[in-house]
Amino acid sequence: MENINIMINGLPGNVAKKMAEFGIADKRFNVIPFSLTGQEIEEKIVTIDTLAFELVRPDSRDQKTAHIKSLFPFFICIDYTHPSAVNSNALYYVQNKIPFVMGTTGGDRKLLEEIVKVAATPAVIAPNMAKQIVGFQAMMEYAADTFPGLFKGYTLQVVESHQKGKADTSGTARAMVGYFNKLGVNFDMDNIEMIRDPEIQEKEWGIKREHLSGHGWHTYTLKAEDGSALFEFKHNINGRDIYVSGTFDAVLFLKKKLDHPDKSRKLYTMIDVLNGK
């Protein structure tokens, strides 16, 4: 199997850096030396391992695209940029017929899906690329569809903790709230508690210092109205390695879809990746 050219966007961000580190070492991929970045980023070059990445800001990316495509006629983009760039980046990929895996959360997700559905090339989009968490979400979705109203009358508390630099509410937490609401609770997304203070995370939550810069801890607590029953669901992830594995699986899945196109469908999720369909 030939190496798949991948362009990792979001450098010098931490997740993009981790993706690049693993991608460079992974013989299945050829990491190309360019990365879309934010307009505010002053750096022009970021070196990871032995590879120097040229950072491409929004004001120059249109003219850079022709150059990148002349060097690499085919590549798949991996997007771990910023929530504010989700929709504009997706539009850029679609307009330039670049298949992509969107791991960035936030943005207008409905608009994001609509952009991809009419695209010429396919994409994988998911609020979480960790396969085990995606599987857990699938179980919750099944429960919500099969037993609607199961937790009617229960109250829900959702608390999520991520590194200080995460700007938006967890996309996974938002998706989970949707399932719990189908199960009968009445919870407003705005009531999700976001913890971003490293001191609180270390002292009150017990998150180890080495993981303060990269973690995702979630707790969902359901309580019966009369206090007679309590259900609690948790998923605590330290570091970013788990997301790398899932993202690379999404790239391999997308390559198969490109090799055997489905004209009726362009938008895929991590559930499709898990199913291999």
277 residues of the chain, pLDDT tens digit each: 579 999 999 999 989 999 999 999 999 999 999 999 999 999 999 999 999 999 999 999 999 999 999 999 999 999 999 999 999 999 999 999 999 999 998 899 999 999 999 899 999 998 889 999 999 999 999 999 999 999 999 999 999 999 998 888 998 899 999 999 999 999 999 999 999 999 999 999 999 999 999 999 999 999 999 999 999 999 999 998 999 999 999 999 999 999 998 888 999 999 999 998 6
Catalytic residue among 17, 131, 162, 266: 162
pLDDT of residue 80: 96
- Range of the structural domain that residue 137 is part of: 131-238
Catalytic residue among 18, 82, 131, 166: 166
Side chain identity at residue 117, one-letter code: K
pLDDT of residue 150: 98
- List of residues 6+ apart from 217 with CB closer than 8 A: 160, 161, 162, 205, 207, 234, 235, 236, 237
Sheet containing strand 51-56, edge to edge, reads 34-36, 51-56, 45-48
Name the burial class of residue 275, with classes exposed (0-12), middle (13-18) and buried (19+) by CB atoms within 10 angstroms of its CB. exposed
**Against a cut of 0.95, is the pTM above it?**
no
- List of residues 6+ apart from 190 with CB closer than 8 A: none
Residue given tokens 């992974």 in the structure block: 26
Structure tokens at 8: 């990792």
| Claim to verify: residue 143 and residue 91 sit in the same structural domain | no
| Claim to verify: residue 62 and residue 144 sit in the same structural domain | no
Q: Kindly tell me the sign of the dihedral angle through the C-alpha atoms of 22, 160, 169, 44.
A: negative
| Claim to verify: residue 121 and residue 20 sit in the same structural domain | yes
Q: Which H/E stretch holds residue 45? A: strand 45-48
pLDDT of residue 105: 86
CATH code of the domain in which 265 resides: 3.40.50.720
| Claim to verify: residue 22 and residue 117 sit in the same structural domain | yes
Q: Tell me the per-residue pLDDT of 151-181, one tens digit each, with 9 for 90 and over.
A: 999 999 999 999 998 888 998 899 999 999 9
pLDDT of residue 228: 97
| Claim to verify: residue 55 and residue 163 sit in the same structural domain | no
- List of residues 6+ apart from 101 with CB closer than 8 A: 76, 77, 78, 79, 123, 124, 125, 129, 247, 250, 251, 254
CATH code of the domain in which 207 resides: 3.30.360.10
pLDDT of residue 1: 58
Q: Tell me the per-residue pLDDT of 42-64, one tens digit each, with 9 for 90 and over.
A: 999 999 999 999 999 999 999 99
Domain count, the chain: 2
> Is 166 marked active-site?
yes
| Claim to verify: residue 45 and residue 152 sit in the same structural domain | no
| Claim to verify: residue 67 and residue 135 sit in the same structural domain | no
